[in-house]
Amino acid sequence: MIRRPPSRDRRASARERLAAAVQALPELERLVLSLRLLEGLSALETAAALSITARGVEQRTNVALRSLAQELAARAALRRAA
C-alpha cells in the first residue's frame, strides 16, 4: 500500500499544534530547544549563550522534548475524542 504525503492543510495544522506545544513550555526550555534544534548550536555554545552548564543544557533539552511529546500526545487524544 502506497501512502500519500499529508495534505498542505494537514501539514499546516501539524505545524500550528507543534508551535502551540512549544509555546506551552517554560521559557528556558523553549530557548534551549530553539538554540539547539533551530539555530544548530552545540550544548557548549548553548550553555555559554544562556549562562548555564552544558549538563544543564542536556537536561533541559531532554525535559523539553519529553514535555513536548506528552503535550502533543495529549492534544492528539483530545482531537480523537472530539
Question: How do the domains of the chain map onto residue ranges?
Answer: 21-81
Looking at residue 3, its pLDDT comes to 76
pLDDT digits (tens, 9 = 90+) for 25-74: 999 999 999 999 999 999 999 999 999 999 999 999 999 999 999 989 99
- pLDDT category, 23, cuts 50, 70, 90? very high
Q: Per residue in 10-32, is it b (16+ CB within 10 Å) or e — as a string?
A: eeeeeeeeeeebbeebeeebbbb
In words, the CATH class of domain 21-81 is mainly alpha
Half-sphere exposure of 44 (CA within 13 A, CB side): 0
Residue type, 25: L
Q: Which of 7-11, 20-24, 41-45 shows the lowest mean pLDDT across its residues?
A: 7-11
> By the 8 A CB rule, do 58 and 15 touch?
no
Q: Which residues are CB-contacts of 64 (< 8 A; sequence separation ≥ 6)?
A: 25, 29, 30, 32, 33
- pLDDT category, 80, cuts 50, 70, 90? confident
pTM of the model: 0.79
